[in-house]
Protein backbone atom coordinates (compact mmCIF):
# COMPACT_ATOMS: atom_id res chain seq x y z
CA UNK A 1 0.00 0.00 0.00
CA UNK A 2 2.86 2.36 0.82
CA UNK A 3 4.37 1.78 -2.62
CA UNK A 4 1.03 2.51 -4.30
CA UNK A 5 0.68 5.80 -2.42
CA UNK A 6 4.22 6.75 -3.31
CA UNK A 7 3.53 5.95 -6.95
CA UNK A 8 0.36 8.06 -6.97
CA UNK A 9 2.15 10.99 -5.35
CA UNK A 10 4.95 10.82 -7.91
CA UNK A 11 2.45 10.67 -10.74
CA UNK A 12 0.57 13.71 -9.44
CA UNK A 13 3.84 15.63 -9.15
CA UNK A 14 4.81 14.75 -12.71
CA UNK A 15 1.43 15.85 -14.05
CA UNK A 16 1.67 19.12 -12.11
CA UNK A 17 5.19 19.83 -13.40
CA UNK A 18 4.16 19.03 -16.97
CA UNK A 19 1.14 21.34 -16.68
CA UNK A 20 3.33 24.15 -15.39
CA UNK A 21 5.79 23.66 -18.25
CA UNK A 22 2.96 23.80 -20.81
CA UNK A 23 1.45 26.92 -19.27
CA UNK A 24 4.79 28.68 -19.14
CA UNK A 25 5.70 27.62 -22.66
CA UNK A 26 2.44 29.06 -23.97
CA UNK A 27 3.00 32.31 -22.14
CA UNK A 28 6.53 32.86 -23.36
CA UNK A 29 6.69 35.15 -26.39
CA UNK A 30 8.96 34.21 -29.30
CA UNK A 31 12.24 36.08 -29.53
CA UNK A 32 12.86 36.87 -33.22
CA UNK A 33 16.45 37.46 -34.32
CA UNK A 34 15.35 40.41 -36.48
CA UNK A 35 16.70 43.89 -35.88
CA UNK A 36 13.10 45.07 -36.15
CA UNK A 37 9.83 43.18 -36.09
CA UNK A 38 6.09 43.69 -35.73
CA UNK A 39 3.02 41.44 -35.64
CA UNK A 40 -0.24 43.28 -36.31
CA UNK A 41 -3.91 42.47 -36.74
CA UNK A 42 -4.65 43.57 -40.32
CA UNK A 43 -8.27 44.53 -39.63
CA UNK A 44 -7.98 46.37 -36.31
CA UNK A 45 -4.37 47.58 -36.39
CA UNK A 46 -3.84 46.03 -32.96
CA UNK A 47 -0.14 45.31 -32.33
CA UNK A 48 0.38 41.86 -30.87
CA UNK A 49 4.18 41.91 -30.78
CA UNK A 50 6.87 44.41 -31.66
CA UNK A 51 10.60 44.89 -31.44
CA UNK A 52 12.22 48.13 -32.62
CA UNK A 53 9.16 48.52 -34.84
CA UNK A 54 9.69 52.26 -35.38
CA UNK A 55 13.43 52.13 -36.10
CA UNK A 56 14.29 53.19 -39.66
CA UNK A 57 15.97 50.43 -41.64
CA UNK A 58 16.42 49.41 -45.28
CA UNK A 59 13.60 47.18 -46.49
CA UNK A 60 15.04 45.80 -49.77
CA UNK A 61 12.50 44.27 -52.19
CA UNK A 62 9.59 44.52 -49.79
CA UNK A 63 9.54 47.96 -51.44
CA UNK A 64 7.72 46.23 -54.30
CA UNK A 65 4.56 46.08 -52.18
CA UNK A 66 4.14 49.80 -52.78
CA UNK A 67 5.20 49.53 -56.42
CA UNK A 68 2.72 46.71 -56.99
CA UNK A 69 -0.08 48.59 -55.25
CA UNK A 70 0.39 51.71 -57.38
CA UNK A 71 0.56 49.55 -60.50
CA UNK A 72 -2.62 47.69 -59.54
CA UNK A 73 -4.41 50.99 -58.92
CA UNK A 74 -3.29 52.49 -62.23
CA UNK A 75 -5.85 50.58 -64.28
CA UNK A 76 -5.54 49.09 -67.79
CA UNK A 77 -4.01 46.00 -66.21
CA UNK A 78 -4.56 43.70 -69.18
CA UNK A 79 -3.47 45.91 -72.08
CA UNK A 80 -0.20 44.84 -73.73
CA UNK A 81 2.64 47.29 -74.24
CA UNK A 82 6.34 47.07 -75.10
CA UNK A 83 8.64 47.36 -72.08
CA UNK A 84 11.07 50.26 -71.91
CA UNK A 85 14.47 48.82 -72.93
CA UNK A 86 16.45 50.98 -70.50
CA UNK A 87 14.19 50.24 -67.52
CA UNK A 88 14.78 46.49 -67.68
CA UNK A 89 18.58 46.81 -67.68
CA UNK A 90 18.90 46.35 -63.94
CA UNK A 91 20.89 44.04 -61.69
CA UNK A 92 19.59 41.51 -59.20
CA UNK A 93 16.49 39.34 -59.31
CA UNK A 94 14.50 39.30 -62.53
CA UNK A 95 11.34 37.99 -64.14
CA UNK A 96 13.30 37.61 -67.39
CA UNK A 97 12.14 40.58 -69.45
CA UNK A 98 13.99 41.19 -72.71
CA UNK A 99 14.06 44.11 -75.11
CA UNK A 100 11.01 44.32 -77.34
CA UNK A 101 8.83 41.98 -75.24
CA UNK A 102 5.16 42.90 -74.80
CA UNK A 103 3.65 42.56 -71.33
CA UNK A 104 0.70 43.82 -69.29
CA UNK A 105 0.78 45.66 -66.00
CA UNK A 106 -0.87 42.64 -64.39
CA UNK A 107 2.05 40.49 -65.57
CA UNK A 108 4.46 42.96 -64.00
CA UNK A 109 2.61 42.76 -60.67
CA UNK A 110 3.14 38.98 -60.71
CA UNK A 111 6.72 39.53 -61.84
CA UNK A 112 7.36 41.77 -58.82
CA UNK A 113 5.58 39.73 -56.16
CA UNK A 114 6.63 36.21 -57.20
CA UNK A 115 10.28 36.18 -58.41
CA UNK A 116 10.85 39.75 -57.11
CA UNK A 117 11.79 41.05 -60.54
CA UNK A 118 13.68 44.32 -60.43
CA UNK A 119 13.11 44.53 -64.18
CA UNK A 120 9.37 44.23 -63.57
CA UNK A 121 9.44 47.03 -60.97
CA UNK A 122 11.28 49.44 -63.29
CA UNK A 123 9.08 48.53 -66.27
CA UNK A 124 5.96 49.11 -64.19
CA UNK A 125 7.26 52.47 -62.97
CA UNK A 126 7.87 53.72 -66.51
CA UNK A 127 4.52 52.38 -67.70
CA UNK A 128 2.55 54.10 -64.91
CA UNK A 129 4.40 57.42 -64.59
CA UNK A 130 6.47 57.82 -67.76
CA UNK A 131 9.82 57.55 -65.98
CA UNK A 132 11.28 56.10 -62.79
CA UNK A 133 11.86 59.44 -61.07
CA UNK A 134 8.22 60.48 -61.43
CA UNK A 135 7.06 57.11 -60.15
CA UNK A 136 9.28 57.43 -57.06
CA UNK A 137 7.64 60.79 -56.38
CA UNK A 138 4.28 59.04 -56.61
CA UNK A 139 5.48 56.38 -54.15
CA UNK A 140 6.49 58.97 -51.58
CA UNK A 141 3.29 60.95 -52.08
CA UNK A 142 1.20 57.84 -51.45
CA UNK A 143 3.31 56.96 -48.39
CA UNK A 144 2.54 60.40 -46.95
CA UNK A 145 -1.18 59.94 -47.65
CA UNK A 146 -1.07 56.63 -45.76
CA UNK A 147 0.59 58.23 -42.78
CA UNK A 148 3.86 56.33 -43.27
CA UNK A 149 5.90 59.07 -41.60
CA UNK A 150 9.13 57.07 -41.36
CA UNK A 151 9.26 55.79 -44.93
CA UNK A 152 11.16 57.18 -47.92
CA UNK A 153 11.56 55.58 -51.33
CA UNK A 154 14.39 56.11 -53.78
CA UNK A 155 13.81 53.19 -56.17
CA UNK A 156 10.75 51.17 -57.28
CA UNK A 157 12.64 47.91 -56.79
CA UNK A 158 14.30 48.31 -53.40
CA UNK A 159 17.90 48.20 -54.63
CA UNK A 160 19.65 50.30 -52.00
CA UNK A 161 23.40 49.68 -52.19
CA UNK A 162 24.11 53.19 -53.48
CA UNK A 163 21.89 55.18 -51.09
CA UNK A 164 21.04 55.57 -47.41
CA UNK A 165 17.81 57.42 -48.18
CA UNK A 166 15.74 54.34 -49.02
CA UNK A 167 14.22 53.22 -45.72
CA UNK A 168 11.12 52.34 -43.75
CA UNK A 169 10.13 50.79 -40.42
CA UNK A 170 8.52 47.48 -39.55
CA UNK A 171 5.42 49.35 -38.40
CA UNK A 172 5.13 51.40 -41.60
CA UNK A 173 5.55 48.29 -43.74
CA UNK A 174 2.77 46.55 -41.79
CA UNK A 175 0.45 49.53 -42.28
CA UNK A 176 1.29 49.62 -46.00
CA UNK A 177 0.60 45.91 -46.33
CA UNK A 178 -2.77 46.17 -44.58
CA UNK A 179 -3.81 48.70 -47.23
CA UNK A 180 -2.24 46.77 -50.10
CA UNK A 181 -4.08 43.55 -49.25
CA UNK A 182 -7.39 45.34 -49.78
CA UNK A 183 -6.58 45.51 -53.48
CA UNK A 184 -7.91 42.26 -55.01
CA UNK A 185 -5.45 42.23 -57.93
CA UNK A 186 -2.45 42.59 -55.63
CA UNK A 187 -3.68 40.13 -53.01
CA UNK A 188 -4.41 37.50 -55.67
CA UNK A 189 -0.88 37.79 -57.03
CA UNK A 190 0.76 37.75 -53.60
CA UNK A 191 -0.98 34.47 -52.72
CA UNK A 192 -0.01 32.72 -55.97
CA UNK A 193 2.64 30.01 -55.65
CA UNK A 194 3.36 29.71 -59.38
CA UNK A 195 1.75 30.80 -62.62
CA UNK A 196 2.16 30.67 -66.40
CA UNK A 197 1.42 33.98 -68.10
CA UNK A 198 1.50 34.89 -71.78
CA UNK A 199 3.72 37.49 -73.41
CA UNK A 200 2.25 39.54 -76.24
CA UNK A 201 3.60 37.13 -78.84
CA UNK A 202 1.87 34.18 -77.16
CA UNK A 203 4.99 32.67 -75.59
CA UNK A 204 4.93 31.41 -72.02
CA UNK A 205 6.17 33.30 -68.99
CA UNK A 206 6.58 30.92 -66.02
CA UNK A 207 6.91 32.50 -62.57
CA UNK A 208 7.45 30.91 -59.15
CA UNK A 209 6.93 32.62 -55.81
CA UNK A 210 10.02 32.99 -53.63
CA UNK A 211 7.88 33.15 -50.47
CA UNK A 212 8.41 29.72 -48.88
CA UNK A 213 5.81 30.43 -46.18
CA UNK A 214 3.03 29.90 -48.73
CA UNK A 215 3.84 26.19 -48.59
CA UNK A 216 5.29 25.76 -45.11
CA UNK A 217 3.03 27.85 -42.83
CA UNK A 218 -0.70 27.25 -42.45
CA UNK A 219 -2.87 30.11 -43.64
CA UNK A 220 -0.18 32.31 -45.22
CA UNK A 221 -1.57 34.44 -48.08
CA UNK A 222 1.54 36.44 -49.11
CA UNK A 223 3.23 38.89 -49.24
CA UNK A 224 6.86 39.75 -50.19
CA UNK A 225 10.46 38.70 -49.61
CA UNK A 226 13.52 40.93 -49.81
CA UNK A 227 17.31 40.90 -49.58
CA UNK A 228 20.24 43.18 -50.22
CA UNK A 229 23.68 43.23 -48.62
CA UNK A 230 22.77 46.45 -46.82
CA UNK A 231 19.25 45.47 -45.71
CA UNK A 232 19.87 41.82 -44.94
CA UNK A 233 16.95 39.40 -45.15
CA UNK A 234 13.58 41.18 -45.04
CA UNK A 235 10.17 39.54 -45.07
CA UNK A 236 6.58 40.80 -45.01
CA UNK A 237 3.92 38.12 -44.71
CA UNK A 238 0.22 37.82 -43.98
CA UNK A 239 -1.60 34.86 -42.48
CA UNK A 240 -5.32 34.16 -42.16
CA UNK A 241 -6.77 31.65 -39.70
CA UNK A 242 -10.33 31.42 -38.33
CA UNK A 243 -11.35 34.67 -39.94
CA UNK A 244 -8.45 36.68 -38.49
CA UNK A 245 -5.68 38.12 -40.69
CA UNK A 246 -2.33 38.97 -39.13
CA UNK A 247 0.61 40.75 -40.75
CA UNK A 248 4.20 40.05 -39.75
CA UNK A 249 7.20 42.16 -40.76
CA UNK A 250 10.84 41.35 -40.00
CA UNK A 251 13.72 43.56 -41.15
CA UNK A 252 17.30 42.29 -41.20
CA UNK A 253 16.45 38.82 -39.90
CA UNK A 254 18.66 35.82 -40.71
CA UNK A 255 15.93 33.43 -39.46
CA UNK A 256 12.91 35.08 -41.07
CA UNK A 257 11.03 31.94 -42.17
CA UNK A 258 11.29 30.41 -38.71
CA UNK A 259 10.47 33.63 -36.88
CA UNK A 260 7.32 34.31 -38.90
CA UNK A 261 6.01 30.77 -38.37
CA UNK A 262 6.64 30.92 -34.63
CA UNK A 263 5.07 34.36 -34.27
CA UNK A 264 1.92 33.23 -36.06
CA UNK A 265 1.59 30.08 -33.97
CA UNK A 266 2.08 32.15 -30.82
CA UNK A 267 -0.35 34.90 -31.79
CA UNK A 268 -3.16 32.72 -33.08
CA UNK A 269 -2.88 30.70 -29.87
CA UNK A 270 -3.86 33.88 -28.03
CA UNK A 271 -7.12 34.23 -29.98
CA UNK A 272 -10.48 32.79 -28.99
CA UNK A 273 -13.67 32.21 -30.97
CA UNK A 274 -16.79 33.35 -29.13
CA UNK A 275 -20.23 32.17 -30.29
CA UNK A 276 -23.29 34.35 -29.74
CA UNK A 277 -26.84 33.07 -30.03
CA UNK A 278 -29.45 34.83 -32.10
CA UNK A 279 -32.94 35.79 -31.00
CA UNK A 280 -36.49 34.70 -31.78
CA UNK A 281 -39.32 36.96 -30.64
CA UNK A 282 -42.84 38.03 -31.64
CA UNK A 283 -43.39 41.49 -33.07
CA UNK A 284 -46.66 43.37 -33.54
CA UNK A 285 -47.89 43.89 -37.08
CA UNK A 286 -48.88 47.27 -38.48
CA UNK A 287 -51.17 46.71 -41.44
CA UNK A 288 -53.08 43.75 -42.82
CA UNK A 289 -51.68 40.24 -42.33
CA UNK A 290 -53.83 37.13 -42.61
CA UNK A 291 -53.33 33.45 -41.88
CA UNK A 292 -53.03 31.73 -45.25
CA UNK A 293 -55.12 28.75 -44.10
CA UNK A 294 -57.87 30.26 -41.95
CA UNK A 295 -57.94 33.79 -43.33
CA UNK A 296 -57.85 35.09 -39.77
CA UNK A 297 -56.27 38.48 -39.18
CA UNK A 298 -52.94 38.28 -37.39
CA UNK A 299 -51.64 40.85 -34.92
CA UNK A 300 -48.17 39.37 -34.38
CA UNK A 301 -45.47 37.67 -36.42
CA UNK A 302 -42.34 35.77 -35.40
CA UNK A 303 -38.99 37.40 -36.15
CA UNK A 304 -35.60 35.76 -35.70
CA UNK A 305 -31.98 36.09 -36.65
CA UNK A 306 -28.67 37.28 -35.41
CA UNK A 307 -26.03 35.04 -33.94
CA UNK A 308 -22.36 35.24 -34.73
CA UNK A 309 -19.00 33.57 -34.24
CA UNK A 310 -16.31 36.16 -33.59
CA UNK A 311 -12.60 35.43 -33.23
CA UNK A 312 -10.59 37.93 -31.21
CA UNK A 313 -7.82 38.10 -28.59
CA UNK A 314 -8.78 35.98 -25.60
CA UNK A 315 -8.35 38.91 -23.23
CA UNK A 316 -11.09 40.79 -25.11
CA UNK A 317 -13.56 37.91 -25.42
CA UNK A 318 -15.45 38.69 -22.22
CA UNK A 319 -15.97 42.35 -23.13
CA UNK A 320 -17.96 41.91 -26.33
CA UNK A 321 -21.44 43.41 -26.01
CA UNK A 322 -24.52 42.61 -28.09
CA UNK A 323 -27.21 45.20 -28.73
CA UNK A 324 -30.59 44.41 -30.30
CA UNK A 325 -32.14 47.08 -32.51
CA UNK A 326 -35.73 46.38 -33.63
CA UNK A 327 -38.42 48.45 -35.29
CA UNK A 328 -41.62 48.95 -33.28
CA UNK A 329 -43.74 47.07 -35.84
CA UNK A 330 -43.48 44.82 -38.84
CA UNK A 331 -45.06 47.13 -41.37
CA UNK A 332 -47.30 45.61 -44.02
CA UNK A 333 -47.32 45.06 -46.90
CA UNK A 334 -43.91 43.41 -46.67
CA UNK A 335 -41.70 42.60 -49.66
CA UNK A 336 -42.62 39.26 -51.20
CA UNK A 337 -39.07 37.89 -51.03
CA UNK A 338 -38.69 38.88 -47.34
CA UNK A 339 -35.14 40.01 -48.02
CA UNK A 340 -34.81 43.07 -45.81
CA UNK A 341 -34.43 43.03 -42.02
CA UNK A 342 -36.71 44.48 -39.39
CA UNK A 343 -33.76 44.88 -37.04
CA UNK A 344 -30.18 44.03 -36.26
CA UNK A 345 -27.99 42.64 -33.52
CA UNK A 346 -24.80 44.65 -33.15
CA UNK A 347 -21.69 43.10 -31.60
CA UNK A 348 -19.26 45.69 -30.27
CA UNK A 349 -16.00 45.89 -28.34
CA UNK A 350 -15.33 49.13 -26.47
CA UNK A 351 -17.81 50.87 -28.73
CA UNK A 352 -16.28 49.58 -31.97
CA UNK A 353 -18.53 47.52 -34.23
CA UNK A 354 -17.18 44.01 -34.78
CA UNK A 355 -20.10 42.44 -36.65
CA UNK A 356 -23.82 42.85 -37.27
CA UNK A 357 -26.55 40.32 -38.05
CA UNK A 358 -29.99 40.94 -39.52
CA UNK A 359 -33.31 39.97 -37.93
CA UNK A 360 -36.07 38.87 -40.33
CA UNK A 361 -39.81 38.00 -40.05
CA UNK A 362 -41.00 34.46 -40.64
CA UNK A 363 -44.50 34.74 -42.04
CA UNK A 364 -44.74 30.98 -42.42
CA UNK A 365 -44.64 30.66 -38.64
CA UNK A 366 -47.26 33.39 -38.07
CA UNK A 367 -50.12 32.42 -35.79
Q: What is the CATH number of the domain that holds 324?
A: 2.60.410
Residue 272 is among the residues annotated as catalytic for this protein: no
pLDDT at 340: 77
Together in a domain, 303 and 354: yes
Position 25 confidence tier, pLDDT thresholds 50, 70, 90: very low
pLDDT digits (tens, 9 = 90+) for 301-322: 888 998 888 888 888 888 999 9
Q: Is the pLDDT of residue 354 over 60?
A: yes
Together in a domain, 242 and 113: yes
Q: Is the pLDDT of residue 160 over 70?
A: yes
Together in a domain, 281 and 135: no
Domain boundary among 269, 301, 317: 269
Rounded average pLDDT over 55-68: 98
- C-alpha–C-alpha distance, residues 149 and 140, integer Å: 10
Name the active-site residue from 61, 68, 187, 322. 61
Domain boundary among 254, 269, 284: 269
Position 6 confidence tier, pLDDT thresholds 50, 70, 90: low
* 132 secondary structure, DSSP code: H
Name the active-site residue from 51, 53, 64, 93. 64
Domain of residue 361 covers: 272-365
39-48, 142-151, 267-276, range with greatest mean pLDDT: 142-151
Selection from 229, 228, 190, 230 nearest residue 210 by Cα: 190
> Which of 9-18, 161-170, 260-269, 289-298 has the weakest average pLDDT?
9-18
Domain boundary among 222, 238, 269: 269
Q: Is the pLDDT of residue 334 over 80?
A: no
pLDDT at 291: 66
Task: Look at residue 144 and tell me if it is in a domain.
Answer: yes
Q: Is the pLDDT of residue 285 over 90?
A: no
Mean pLDDT across the chain: 89
Together in a domain, 204 and 348: no
Q: Is the pLDDT of residue 290 over 90?
A: no
Decide if 363 contacts 342 (C-beta within 8 A): no
Together in a domain, 155 and 85: yes
Domain count of the fold of the chain = 2
- C-alpha–C-alpha distance, residues 132 and 122, integer Å: 7
pLDDT at 364: 64
Name the active-site residue from 53, 68, 93, 116. 116
Together in a domain, 193 and 230: yes
Task: Look at residue 102 and tell me if it is in a domain.
Answer: yes
Together in a domain, 123 and 87: yes
Together in a domain, 264 and 138: yes
Rounded average pLDDT over 9-19: 40
Q: Is the pLDDT of residue 21 over 50?
A: no
Strand order in the sheet with 330-331: 320-326, 343-349, 352-362, 300-313, 271-286, 330-331
Q: How many CB atoms lie within 10 A of CB 72?
A: 22
> Which of 28-32, 144-148, 282-286 has the weakest average pLDDT?
28-32
Distance of CA 209 to the CA centre of its chain: 18
CA separation (Å) from 316 to 81, 108, 241?
A: 51, 42, 18
- C-alpha–C-alpha distance, residues 27 and 257, integer Å: 22
Task: Look at residue 8 and tell me if it is in a domain.
Answer: no
Q: Is the pLDDT of residue 7 over 70?
A: no
pLDDT at 338: 57
For residue 49, the cross-strand partners are 39
Q: Is the pLDDT of residue 27 over 50?
A: no
3-class secondary structure, 17: helix
Together in a domain, 306 and 354: yes
Q: Which residue has the higher pLDDT, 10 or 363?
A: 363
Task: Look at residue 24 and tell me if it is in a domain.
Answer: no
Residue 64 is among the residues annotated as catalytic for this protein: yes
Q: Is the pLDDT of residue 24 over 70?
A: no
Position 293 confidence tier, pLDDT thresholds 50, 70, 90: low
Selection from 100, 103, 61, 51 nearest residue 78 by Cα: 103
Together in a domain, 210 and 302: no
Decide if 58 contacts 176 (C-beta within 8 A): no
Q: Is the pLDDT of residue 328 over 50?
A: yes
Q: What is the CATH number of the domain that holds 95?
A: 3.40.710.10
pLDDT at 298: 81
Q: Is the pLDDT of residue 337 over 90?
A: no
Together in a domain, 131 and 63: yes
pLDDT at 332: 81
Rounded average pLDDT over 92-116: 97
Task: Look at residue 25 and tell me if it is in a domain.
Answer: no
- C-alpha–C-alpha distance, residues 350 and 316, integer Å: 9
Position 361 confidence tier, pLDDT thresholds 50, 70, 90: confident
Amino acid sequence: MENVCRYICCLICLIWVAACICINAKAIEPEPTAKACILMDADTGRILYEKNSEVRLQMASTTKIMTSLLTAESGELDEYFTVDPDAIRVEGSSMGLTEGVKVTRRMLIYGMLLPSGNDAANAAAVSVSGDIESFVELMNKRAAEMGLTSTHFVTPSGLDDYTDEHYSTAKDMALLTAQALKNPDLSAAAATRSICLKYGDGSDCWLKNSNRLLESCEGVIGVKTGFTDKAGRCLVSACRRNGVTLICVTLNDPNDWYDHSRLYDYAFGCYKTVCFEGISVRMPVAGDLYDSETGKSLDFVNVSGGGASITLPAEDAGRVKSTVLLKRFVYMPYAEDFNYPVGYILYTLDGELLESSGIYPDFRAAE
